[in-house]
Amino acid sequence: MLTRIRNAQLAEHKTVVIPLSKIKVEIAKILKREKYIDDYKKTGKGNKKTLEIDMIYPAVIKEIKRVSKQGQRIYADALALKRIKSGFGVSIVSTSKGLMTNKEARKARLGGEILFEIW
């Protein structure tokens, strides 16, 4: 998902189509709330469900960096969640209460797996 968004941003595409999953929908909700994407919608039916993301132009996303990888998971408690690019970026954290930004996780005093950083 992150690579498709990054490539679409570089190629200046208006929309990105991604296979649908619950975690991708939650990530899209957070990206919309943080104003990194314009909108998203679920399309298709049966086994061919997709998530269609409308991008914002001029480019808002400068970089997306995956932190936790399949071979090395990165976890942090609430106090260890750092600010990204002096507060201009966010990291998405998978907590016991669901996905949230690093700011929300610090406020709720929840730690978890750091999925990726975006700025």
Residue 44 has pLDDT above 90, yes or no: yes
Q: Does 59 have pLDDT greater than 90?
A: no
Residues ≥6 apart with Cβ < 8 Å to 117: 64, 65, 67, 84, 89, 90, 91, 92
Domain range 2-55, CATH architecture: 2-Layer Sandwich (3.30)
CA distances to 61, 64, 68, 74, 94 from 113, in Å? 22, 16, 7, 6, 5
Q: Do domains 2-55 and 64-118 have the same CATH topology?
A: no
Task: State whether the Cα torsion 87-89-94-98 is positive or negative.
Answer: positive
pLDDT tens, residue by residue, 66-115: 999 999 999 999 999 999 999 899 999 999 999 999 999 999 999 999 99
- Residue extents of the structural domains in the chain: 2-55, 64-118
**In CATH, what class is 64-118?**
alpha beta
